[in-house]
Structure formats: structure tokens, C-alpha cells
Amino acid sequence: TDFDWGDHNGYKTPAWNEMVVYEMHLGTFNDTAGGGPGNLNKAIERLDYLRLLGINAVQLMPLSEFAWDFSWGYNPAHLFAVESAYGGPQALKEFVKGAHDKGIAVLLDVVYNHLGPSDLDLWRFDGWNQHGKGGIYFYNDRRSKTPWGDTRPDYGRPEVRQFLRDNAMMWLDEFRMDGLRWDSTVNIRTINNGNGGDLSDGWHLMKWINDEINETSPWKISIAEDLQGNAWLTKSTGDGGSGFDAQWAADFVHPLRRAIIARDDASRDCHALS
């Protein structure tokens, strides 16, 4: 069943505005030094550690199949496949169930601003392309450009939008994720990290998927990693926004880092942190 935000084995999960989110890279969270990457089964072994730490939500870094076995995951090659080095789809379902049994929500980092750029079966999928670009799944003009390569999906094509929408809903429905954190939304709504102008197709994609989530699973959260402080990201789609429930605050990390690394209390500015 879906996570109901109630009591789980005596542990009550707080509301979203009380979440303490742990960003987890499965490859290094519980790995063996000098060996292969960590995996979902190894991560399950440390869920009690997270509870004792005070964590009540885990954000998994991207785990769609990527090139090689060692990666942060921001180079997704096959969006619908769970990285084999992490254990595959059944291991992911077991991890989510194990976390839910302990009252820990599970969020997933998804990458829709670019694909690959390597190991892409979608590249020139049917042999066609223009201007040396990627073909039917990708923009074939200047809109293809991202900081990670010319592999931005063509949000203007209904088939490509459906492909990405189906991927988002798969994580939420089949794998029972409690929410999605969208990587670099600034590179969905603009060209070339904001330096190449607005991309209306990207805005429409985000609105469409968030509307679908709110209609089918309104208790699940959508977070934008935009880091530009754009208020329209978290406005409702009815008001012209893109419908995200939250976005990461770009400036929070700086006062937090200064407070953590200060050698003594006199050097800590907790008012700035607050």
C-alpha cells in the first residue's frame, strides 16, 4: 500500500514541513572499501542507523541504469531500468518497503533535463537526425544544448512528453515512491542553464506531470532543484506556475556550512542560520 503518514511500528512520521531528508548515494552509502559499489540490499541494513540519526525521509540519488557501475547517477541511459549494479527493480521495491516499515519516506531524484550523454539507445533511434543531433527523442537545434551535452529531450513532441510522464508515474505507482526531486529544473525551463532563453515546452512538461501527480496521488511531494529562487515553480498550475510543492533553497547551504565548520561557538552565527 502507499505510505499513509501514520504510525509505523510505534514511529510516527511527521508532516512534510517537518521532514529531515537524507540524500543517499547508494553506491557509497554502505559499500565495501576497494570493492564494487554499494547496493539497495546493503542500504537496507542501515535503515535503523538513519532512524537513530533522526532521518525521516531518504532521497535516493538517480538510479536509472547508467554507464558503468560507478556514478552519481546523473547520466541516465535507460530511464525505465533500475541500475543493475544496485540490485535491479525487486531490490528497489524491497528497499522502499523496508523504509516504510520503519516510518521513513522515500523520495527519488529524477533527471529529465538531459539524458546520457553516453550509452543512449534512444540516440538517433530510427536513424533520422538533423544538424548532427540526436534524432526523434531529442531537440535537433540549439535547444538541445545543456551543460552535460546536446541531449535535452524534445519536450515539444507529445510522444517524448508521454515517455517522461510515464517514467515519473512508474516510480510513484509501481515502486511506491513518496515523491520526486527533479534535477536541475532550470535546464528544463530554459536553454543552456538559463543563458539561452526560456523554453516554454519545458514549463508545459513540468505542469503536465505535476497536475497528473496531484490528481492521482496528491499526498506525494514534488521538489524542484532549480536553485534560482523562481517563485513560479511553486505556484499552482491554475495560477500559471509549474505546480511543484517545494524547491531547494540555494542560499541555505552557506550559513549552514559556516555554522558547522566554525571552531568555537563565538564564531557561529545561529541568527543567520535561522
Catalytic residue list: 183, 225
> How far, in Å, CA of 196 to CA of 22, rounded?
33
> How far, in Å, CA of 188 to CA of 147, rounded?
12
> How far, in Å, CA of 19 to CA of 24, rounded?
15
> How far, in Å, CA of 167 to CA of 64, rounded?
10
According to DSSP, residue 198 is labeled B
Question: In terms of Cα–Cα distance, which of 69, 4, 8 is closest to 39?
Answer: 69
> How far, in Å, CA of 184 to CA of 114, rounded?
10
**For residue 274, what is its C-alpha cell?**
535561522
Angle at 217 between CA 215 and CA 222, to 5 degrees: 95
* Dihedrals phi, psi of 7, to nearest 5 degrees: -80, 135
Secondary element (H or E) of residue 78: strand 76-82
What are 24-29's contacts with CB under 8 Å, separation 24+? Answer: 24/58, 24/59, 24/60, 24/61, 25/61, 25/72, 25/73, 26/60, 26/61, 26/63, 26/83, 26/86, 27/69, 27/70, 27/71, 27/72, 27/85, 27/86
Alpha-carbon Rg for the chain, nearest whole angstrom, is 19
